Structure 1
Amino acid sequence: MRIAILGHVRQRIGQPFAGGMESHCWHLATGLRARGHDVVLFASGDSDPGLPIDPVLPVHYEAQFPGAEHRGHAPLIAHIDAGYEAACDRIAVGRFDVVHNNSLHRFPIEPRRTAVVPTVTSLHVPPYDALHWFVRESAVPGHRLTVTSRGQLEAWWPDGAPPQASVLYNGIDPASWPYRPQGDGHAVWCGRMTRDKGPHFAAQAARLAGIPLTLFGAIEDPEYWAAEVEPLLGETVRYGGHIAGTALADAMGRASVFVFTPCWDEPFGLVAVEAMACGVPIAAFDMGAAREVIGPGGCFAPMGDVAALADAMIAATALPRAPQRARVEALFTRDVWLDGCEALYRAVIAEHRAEHGAVRA
């Protein structure tokens, strides 16, 4: 198949990943190419040069408009809209069999667009006002929608999901996250350094539990970092930087517990799955899809309850490690995920052909 992958353009698509959405998009592109598909990634122009990139924007917009994401910044909105409108126009005439849309933008899901090229849209976030109405109106033949958990499906469609919507769990390559049968007694946290990811809670709980903790990830919100996380660093809590690939997998695999602290309605939790692949038990806030994804391999605490999280960390270190890996191999591998993507592509192409005629533009 000739597949257009339309990415989110807040950050570049490449390692080290800024977050789960960027990881999802990169692994989707590389995984589909490895399976023999002709893939074009529509993303920021500064994304991984090893992928065939058609730039939506010359560079990711956080580089040009730092911190403007949630502030209704008119120049940023106009900049993004122009980029996606032009990209959608190019896709429409690009003779693609299907679009996999990860953009979280309203233009690619307009029925006039999905009537031209069959589209699968993956929703990586809970519903929010700027997109919610457009998503609900986009559930038409020739457009399939996926979410990353059952809880997220209910959040987007509390009165019942349309037949075009389904759950598609994210997947990872287990070979990139080698299993280790034993940890060394310390804890790891990984993610974007922002308030909604909660690294300050992880640091506070680790100090209370008496378990050394290393934090990994990009410092996305420097003011939050300086005010609430940096003062907690010391002998037992350290910052390990923003690392990727083998180095991160090695650091994660050596841990005895992974601390997962979503402070919002987390739709999946890719970092938790990566830790589980290494065999690491999870201590987590019971938010969003955390319990659905982590399952019996975790110990949970109410969101914001530092004392309960510290207890969960101590309890998690006693959990067996093999079941964590087994859960990933059963539910969250890249092959299982890509099989699901290909099945959706075939289904939406057939549906589009029945509704609109010719598949390619």
Structure 2
Amino acid sequence: MRIALLAHLRHPVAAPFAGGMEAHCWTLAEGLMARGHEVVLFAAGDSDPRFAIDPVIPVHHERSFPGLEHRGDSGLKAHVDAGYAAACDRIAAGGFDVLHNNSLSRLPLERRRLAAVPTVTSLHVPPYDALRWFVHESLVPGHRITVTSEAQRRVWWPDAPPENVSVLHNGIDPRAWPYRDRGDGSAVWSGRIAPIKGTHLAVAAAQRAGLPLTLFGPIEDREYWDARVAPQLGGAIRYGGHLSGDTLAKEVGRASVFLFTPCWDEPFGLVAIEAMACGVPVAGIMMGAAAEVVGEAGYLVPPDDISALAVAIGETLTIPREVPHARVMRLFTRDLWLERCEALYAQVQAQVKRP
């Protein structure tokens, strides 16, 4: 197939990944190419040059409009909208068999655009006003919508979901997150360092449980870092930086427990399955899809209960490392995810071809 992948533009689709959306889109592009598809990545122009990139905007907008995401800035909105509108026009004229839309833009969801090319849209966020109406109005033949978890589907469609909405769990390549049969007794946390990711809760729980903790990831919210995280560093609590690839996998894999601390309705939790693939069980907060992702591979507690999370850390240390690894191999591998993507592509193509 000739496949167009349309990405979110806040960060480049390149390692080290700024977040799950970038990792998701990179893995999708790389995996589809490995399966013999022709892939064009419509993303920020400074994304990974190993892909055939058609730039939506010249550079990711966190560079050109720093700190303005979610601020309602009119200049940023106009910049992004102009890029997506032109990219959608190029996709419509580009002879693509299918578009996989991973953006957060309303423009690919317009009915006139959906009529131009069979489309699969993957939702990576809870419903919010700027997108909700367009998603609900886009349920037409030739368009399939996926969510990353049953929990996310219930938030978007509290009643019975439409038939062309399905759950598509994220997947990872287990070879990139190699299994280790033992940990070193420490805790690890990985992700975007921002209030919604609850980094401060991981620190407080590790301190109460008496375990050393290493934090990894980009510092997205500097004020939050300065006020809630940086003052706690030192001794058993350290920041390991923003790593990628084999280096991050080794650091995560050598820990004995992974702390997963979402403070919002986390649609999935890619960092959790990355740790689980390495054999690291999860102690975390029961928000969003956490229970669906972690399952028997960890212990989850109610939000904001530091004492309970500290207790859960101790309980999690008793889980054999084979358990989280086996859960990933059964449910969350890249190959399983890509097979499901290919099936969705075939479905939307067939819908368009119906008389």
Scaled by the length of structure 2, the TM-score of the pair is 0.99
Which residue identity does 1:23 align to in structure 2?
A: A
**How much does 1:117 deviate?**
0.1
Root mean square deviation of aligned Cα? 0.7
Equivalences, count: 355
SS at match of 2:215: strand
Q: For 1:292 and 1:95, how far apart are their aligned partners in 2?
A: 38
Which residue identity does 1:302 align to in structure 2?
A: P
Aligned to 1:352: 352
SS at match of 2:70: coil
Aligned to 2:198: 198
Aligned to 2:235: 235
Aligned to 1:36: 36
Q: For 1:65 and 1:341, how far apart are their aligned partners in 2?
A: 33
Q: For 1:71 and 1:304, how far apart are their aligned partners in 2?
A: 26
Q: What does residue range 1-361 of structure 1 map to in structure 2 within 5 Å?
A: 1-354=1-354
Range with bigger deviation, 144-153 or 299-308: 299-308
Q: For 1:234 and 1:297, how far apart are their aligned partners in 2?
A: 30
**How much does 1:318 deviate?**
1.1
SS at match of 2:354: helix
Q: For 2:194 and 2:115, how far apart are their aligned partners in 1?
A: 38
Which residue identity does 1:54 align to in structure 2?
A: D
Unaligned runs of 5+ in 1: 356-361
Kindly provide the CA deviation profile for residues 39-69 of structure 1, in whole angstroms up to 9, marking residues without a partner as x.
0000000000111100001000111111211
Kindly provide the CA deviation profile for residues 9-54 of structure 1, in whole angstroms up to 9, marking residues without a partner as x.
0110000000000000000000000011000000000000111100
**How much does 1:269 deviate?**
0.3
**How much does 1:129 deviate?**
0.6
**How much does 1:323 deviate?**
1.2
Kindly provide the CA deviation profile for residues 64-105 of structure 1, in whole angstroms up to 9, marking residues without a partner as x.
111211111100000000000000000010000000000011
Q: For 1:55 and 1:303, how far apart are their aligned partners in 2?
A: 40
**How much does 1:302 deviate?**
1.1
SS at match of 1:56: strand
**How much does 1:111 deviate?**
1.1
% identical equivalent positions: 64
SS at match of 1:235: coil
**How much does 1:204 deviate?**
0.8
**How much does 1:155 deviate?**
0.7
SS at match of 2:51: coil
Q: For 2:147 and 2:190, how far apart are their aligned partners in 1?
A: 23
Kindly provide the CA deviation profile for residues 290-331 of structure 1, in whole angstroms up to 9, marking residues without a partner as x.
001100111111111111111111111111110111110110
Which residue identity does 2:99 align to in structure 1?
A: V
Q: For 2:151 and 2:227, how far apart are their aligned partners in 1?
A: 33
Which residue identity does 1:233 align to in structure 2?
A: L
Kindly provide the CA deviation profile for residues 176-198 of structure 1, in whole angstroms up to 9, marking residues without a partner as x.
11111111000000000100001
Aligned to 1:358: none
Which residue identity does 1:273 align to in structure 2?
A: I
Q: For 2:237 and 2:187, how far apart are their aligned partners in 1?
A: 9
Q: For 1:229 and 1:6, how far apart are their aligned partners in 2?
A: 34
Q: For 2:314 and 2:236, how far apart are their aligned partners in 1?
A: 15
Kindly provide the CA deviation profile for residues 188-242 of structure 1, in whole angstroms up to 9, marking residues without a partner as x.
0000010000111101111111000000000011111001000011101000000
Q: For 2:142 and 2:56, how far apart are their aligned partners in 1?
A: 23
Q: For 1:253 and 1:70, how far apart are their aligned partners in 2?
A: 34
Q: For 1:280 and 1:265, how far apart are their aligned partners in 2?
A: 23
**How much does 1:159 deviate?**
2.0
Unaligned runs of 5+ in 2: none
